[in-house]
A and B are shown apart, each in its own frame.
Chain A
Amino acid sequence: MDFFTWISQISQSAAPPGQPFSPQWRYVAMAVVIPVLMGLGLAGILRVLEKALGMRLGGGSV
């Protein structure tokens, strides 16, 4: 099972059809973990690029 299929599965409501949305705990956990890990990775890439290009790049898009 590839990553995006898994993401799609955990994003489904845990409640039966017709009932209000009930999140799976993995979906809630991933909503916090994924952006933080990606942020760490992207910050690392920017640092490497800065050293390679010899110029100051920007911060996060906030």
Chain B
Amino acid sequence: MNVTLPTAGYWTTFLHPELARLAQPLHGWFYTISPQGELSISLWALIGLGLLLGLLVGCFGVGSGFLMAPFLNLVGNVPYNVAVGSDLTQMLGSGTIANLRQRGLGYVDYKLGLLLFAGSVFGVECGAQLLQVLKNAGGLSLGGRTLGWLELGMTAVYALLLGWIGLALFREMRGRSRAAASAAADEGPVVFGGSRLRTLSLGPMVSLPVSGVDAISLWLILGVGWVSGLLTGFLGVSGAFIRMPALIYVLGVPTVVSIGTNLFELFILAIYGTLTHSVKGNVDLVLVMILLITTTVGNQLGVVLQRKIVGPRSLKVYTLIFFVTALLIILKLIM
């Protein structure tokens, strides 16, 4: 059973005008492109993809969001701009669920959330505009083949990021096994380089009474917001893996406040991101609905199964997924 994705089909034809000259439909493993430019993807493949990614988020959390857009491109040949825009839009639904479900678990510093949002809006717009530039940049002729700048640029960025995350996970795994092997491991206080930034006294300085921060540079808050917003606008990820440590270690916000504030900021940021990406035509509504339902179900499975399946062996498989995905997107580009 195939499902037709209207917006993804539009951009597939826009980015690959040669497809309009096809006499026969083009068949991939899980997708079909008709001579009229309609992109149809196997519903079962999309359901499987959503469940898998939801499961990974539920089990392992950090990093899984980076897999969504490359997987959509690999499995369904969804153009990267639509994969990113749709991922961000389904995040608005996931953010709604997360805010409702975790209400009462943490305090929200609304002042900090709104200041972060001010920086994030700029970051999201920069990311979305960067995507827009790549989308409209055309292609590069290489050995008789035309490679789109969008595909080329996004493949390079995702391959580097996925490789980096895989490497970080591998190092952490190795560190854990070494620490386990040496019971007398020195567990001295961990010093984060970012915490030194807190002493920056570039005005204007603001106070955050809810977070217990007397004075902190406004530029630091805007900077944290900008970086996480850039990731959201350009890659469609929540940016929480940057924002949460930055809130705690750079801005000095207590963990209990950072959880609620992160979710609040994520929600308003997702609204803005959805608006700007939909205005640019990067959101496929059918894809969003399927992904939102399947990732939510997968997430529940992940939470339920976490204790049973998360261990050293599953961490190795998880790490391997990042390296294999990076390799596959490179192979898809060059083959």
Q: Chain B CB within 10 Å — which of A27, A57, A61 has the most?
A: A61
* CB proximity of A3 to chain B, nearest CB, Å: 10
Which one of B58, B240, B271, B279 contacts A23 once the chains associate, using CB atoms below 8 Å? B279
* CB proximity of A11 to chain B, nearest CB, Å: 4
| B175-204 CB contacts (< 8 Å) to partner A | none
Size category, B interface: 35 or more
With A60-B93, A61-B57, A62-B238 as known contacts, state yes or no: A35 contacts B300, CB within 8 Å.
Answer: no
CA distance A60 to B97 in the complex (A): 5
Chain A residues in the interface with B (C-beta under 8 A): 4, 7-8, 10-13, 21, 23, 27-28, 30-32, 34-36, 38-40, 42-43, 46, 55, 57-62
Can you offer 19 A-B residue contacts whose CB atoms are under 8 A? A8-B6, A21-B280, A23-B279, A28-B278, A32-B278, A35-B90, A35-B93, A39-B100, A39-B292, A40-B96, A43-B100, A58-B300, A59-B97, A59-B101, A60-B97, A61-B54, A61-B57, A61-B298, A62-B240
State the 8 A-B residue pairs at the shortest beta-carbon distance, nearest first.
A39-B96, A60-B97, A35-B93, A58-B303, A60-B94, A60-B98, A31-B278, A39-B93
Contacts of A21 in B (CB 8 A): 10, 14, 280-281
Contacts of B99 in A (CB 8 A): 60
Contacts of B299 in A (CB 8 A): 58-61
CA distance A39 to B266 in the complex (A): 14
* CB proximity of A34 to chain B, nearest CB, Å: 6
With A39-B94, A46-B101 as known contacts, state yes or no: A60 contacts B296, CB within 8 Å.
Answer: yes
User: Contact: A42 with B275, CB < 8 Å?
Assistant: no
CA distance A21 to B90 in the complex (A): 22
User: Contact: B95 with A39, CB < 8 Å?
Assistant: yes
